[in-house]
Amino acid sequence: MIEIAKIKAILFFIAIAFSNPFVPDFGTQFILAFAIGMVLPCRIVRPLHEFILKIPQIRKFEKHVKKHKRVREILKSRNQRVKTVVSRVLAGYIVTYIIALLAGLAYIYLEFLY
């Protein structure tokens, strides 16, 4: 019984920390989203990147940023992961929200149905 209480507490923490913007997570979600995004394969990130570039403000911002000297050096890199880092972080955030949803559902199951 104590183990189930510990599991419920962990699931509740994960669900709240990764889905609630009012609870401070001290960068944990960003670090996890960054790590997950960098590991995701290109076939998942590429459609998201193409969708993001269709937004006019982002396209305008990207054109402005490409003029910066250090950014030009980064964009000359052969590494596609570096070129699509923003899309990768957003994809990582989507995955963390899915993790929060699943943790919340597991918590509800253990709390009310178990």
Expressed as residue numbers, the domain containing 26 is 2-113
What is the average per-residue pLDDT within 29-39? Answer: 90
Number of domains in the chain: 1
pLDDT of residue 97 exceeding 70, the answer is yes
Q: For residue 33, give Cα distances in angstroms to 48, 79, 83, 96, 105.
A: 15, 19, 17, 6, 20
pLDDT of residue 1 exceeding 70, the answer is no
Task: Give the pLDDT of residue 102.
Answer: 95
